[in-house]
Amino acid sequence: MDIKSSLHQIKEKFKGNKFAPAFNAFHTFLYTPNDVTKGGTHIKAADDLKRTMNMVILSLVPCLLFGIFNAGYQHYAAIDAANGVIREASLFGNFINWDNFILGAIKVIPLVVVSYAVGLIVEFIFAVIKGHEVEEGYLVTGMLVPLIVPVDLPLWMLAVAVIFGVVIGKEVFGGTGMNILNPALTIRAFLFFAYPTWMSGDKVWVHGAVERMGTPEAISGETILGSYAQNQEILYSLSDMLIGYIPGSVGETSKILIILGALFLIFTKIGSWRIMLSTILGALFMGLIFNQVIDFGLITETSKFYGLMSVPYWEHLLIGSILFGAVFMATDPVTAAQTLKGKWIYGFFIGFISIMIRVFNPAYPEGVFLAILLMNVFAPTIDHYVIEANVKNRLNRLKIKSS
Amino acid sequence: MGLLSKRDSKLILDPLSDNNPITIQVLGICSALAITAELEASVVMSIAVLFVMGVGNVVISLIRNIVPSRIKIIVQLIVIATLVIIVDLVLKAYAYELSKTLSVFVGLIITNCIIMGRFEAFALANGLWRSFLDGIGNAFGYAVILVIVGFFRELLGAGTLWGYPVFGDAIDKTGLYAWGYENNGFMLLSPMALIVVGIIIWIQRSKSTHLIED
């Protein structure tokens, strides 16, 4: 007897048992269940929730791998910089090597493990208490969370935040598919407000910068956004930003890999290209407005906003996490707007508000997660008015016809 | 309870559980947000509200038959305002340090919807003794929630209780802090007060399922 049928027998034997949902979750993760819907139904898609989630995870894996190497690379680069050596990044030279990988893996893999373990334990507990099957929603959230936190974040903080995010952000609303806010961003928001010293500033983005603070071996962990906000000179070239040899949250730095992930999501029709495109348009639009303000001389170099306002509008896409947010966060099918017109409005405002927060609020050098959470809340309202407008249009059409 | 009839003791006990002003009627949320960052402030606020509600309900009940209904809201406001000023002056006289931080919120007792709500819903229609019991019953119901929220917010947010460090010194890194523990700054922000109240409501409703409406 093979494993599949013996597992199935165990399932039949303990049907109705309290822990059946927990067992079934593993079972269906490994094997297709015996009773699946077959042909002739109204559903024309071949993918189920688990398949959808796996596709998103696949699109995130390159970002994770790059993040591992980058964690190591940034650490060693910062040490070099402290010793007066400015590194020239080269992909197969000083970027992809064992030193970077080992250091990065030691820092990043625990984040992934803690995120998944804690999140899934919470999901399992809720499934057992409420007596429903374990839902797949956390598969993607668990992957997103390690990618959007600083590399040096203490693991217990991550665990607390994951419990908060899954329980308050998702389970209280009824579990996967019922949540108002994106759970991964809820987790990040919790961390940001609860432990601000670990989530922002000029130290946390590079491994080792916090513990070396105040010692002779001190290194810098400043992000590009932070440098701009303080009107400092930027040490990174555009190709560095595009490929991702820059400090930042674990998985958000490589713009090329994010774009690849985006193409993959669009090709498999899992992510909405409308939201991605409109988010980028919104960001560009806000960036253009700020550039115009600078051009007309309304804000001069003495202003504290000058640094970020004078960033060319297209460069806003290459720094910070706006692309990552647009591709992997804003497109979350549960919390985004559902109507086609609504998606354009929703995305546009995410981009627009992200850049506005980025420039205007020096306490929050990055506003993408706040903007997406805000628009998550407004998404149902947008949908409501889009539908109302459509109803009104149709009524008008009816009147013209009948008169 | 031998002292009170069954009907009267219900007036005190109901607001503590099944008819709690904060968790069931969802009144007085504003002060639950504003002052619960510290346990001490929550307790003082509770006592102040206890005084205002107990005395206020009695006063309203006494004058309920002679106040024309056209001006009853104004009269109620005057009663509350008088009592609030008494509380404020007492605090200034005997707990000056505390009054400096609480003064704004004590003034805001006047806007606490629980008080006006009980005046309107109960004291205007009931006798003196029952109004008094209803007043302190609701004030206790309010106090219980305030103290619970204040306890958790101060403990997790600042690592202290009533101003005394519980987990050790955050700056010198002693006690729990030596292990890498850090205070949760989010607990001190008002959204967390709402979430804590929400969790209390959640627990209460899952314990007594007859409270769930649909």
Neighbours of A29 (CB within 10 A): 11
State the smallest CA–CA distance between residue B14 and chain A in angstroms: 27
Q: Which residue has the higher pLDDT, A372 or A34?
A: A372
**Does the beta-carbon distance from A195 to B195 stay under 8 Å?**
no
C-alpha A144/C-alpha A162 separation (Å) is 11
State the smallest CA–CA distance between residue B208 and chain A in angstroms: 16
pTM of the model: 0.85
C-alpha A71/C-alpha A205 separation (Å) is 9
Cβ-based interface (< 8 Å): residues of B facing A: 180-182, 184-187, 189, 195, 198, 202
Asked if A223 and A365 touch (Cβ cutoff 8 Å), the reply is yes
Q: For chain B, give every domain's residue range.
A: 14-205
Amino acid identity, position B124: L
Q: Which residue reads 């305030």 in tokens?
A: B146
Residues 6+ apart with CB under 8 A from A247: A74, A78, A205, A206, A221, A222, A223, A224, A253
**Does the beta-carbon distance from A193 to B198 stay under 8 Å?**
no
Q: How much is the average pLDDT of A279-289?
A: 93
| ipTM reported for the complex, 2 dp | 0.85
Q: Which chain B residues have a beta carbon less than 8 Å from that of A154?
A: 180, 182
Residues 6+ apart with CB under 8 A from A46: none
**Does the beta-carbon distance from A195 to B185 stay under 8 Å?**
yes
Q: What is the mean pLDDT of chain B?
A: 85
Q: Which residue reads 């804690």 in tokens?
A: A118
Tokens of A243: 């490929």
**Does the beta-carbon distance from A193 to B185 stay under 8 Å?**
yes
Q: Which chain A residues have a beta carbon less than 8 Å from that of B184?
A: 160, 194-195
Q: Which residue reads 């797949």 in tokens?
A: A136
User: For residue B186, what is the nearest residue in chain A, using CA coordinates?
Assistant: A194
User: By C-alpha distance, which of A249, A124, A268 is closest to A185?
Assistant: A249
Q: What is the mean pLDDT of chain A?
A: 84
**pLDDT at res. B1:** 46
**Does the beta-carbon distance from B184 to A160 stay under 8 Å?**
yes
Q: Which chain B residues have a beta carbon less than 8 Å from that of A373?
A: none
State the smallest CA–CA distance between residue A211 and chain B in angstroms: 12
**Does the beta-carbon distance from B186 to A190 stay under 8 Å?**
yes
What percent of chain B is predicted at pLDDT more than 90?
A: 17
pLDDT tens for each residue of A18-45: 777 777 777 776 676 666 666 555 655 5
Q: Which chain B residues have a beta carbon less than 8 Å from that of A198?
A: 182
What percent of chain B is predicted at pLDDT more than 70?
A: 98
State the smallest CA–CA distance between residue A349 and chain B in angstroms: 24
Asked if B117 and B20 touch (Cβ cutoff 8 Å), the reply is no
C-alpha A275/C-alpha A3 separation (Å) is 43
A160 contacts chain B (CB < 8 A): yes
A194 contacts chain B (CB < 8 A): yes
Calculate ∠ Cα A199-A204-A205, nearest 5°.
Answer: 105
| Dihedral, CA of residue A223, residue A104, residue A237 and residue A258, to nearest 10 | -90
**pLDDT at res. A10:** 78
**pLDDT at res. B96:** 86
Integer-rounded Cα Rg, in Å, for chain B is 19
pLDDT tens for each residue of B157-208: 888 888 888 887 777 777 778 777 888 888 888 888 899 999 998 888 888 8
User: For residue A196, what is the nearest residue in chain B, using CA coordinates?
Assistant: B185
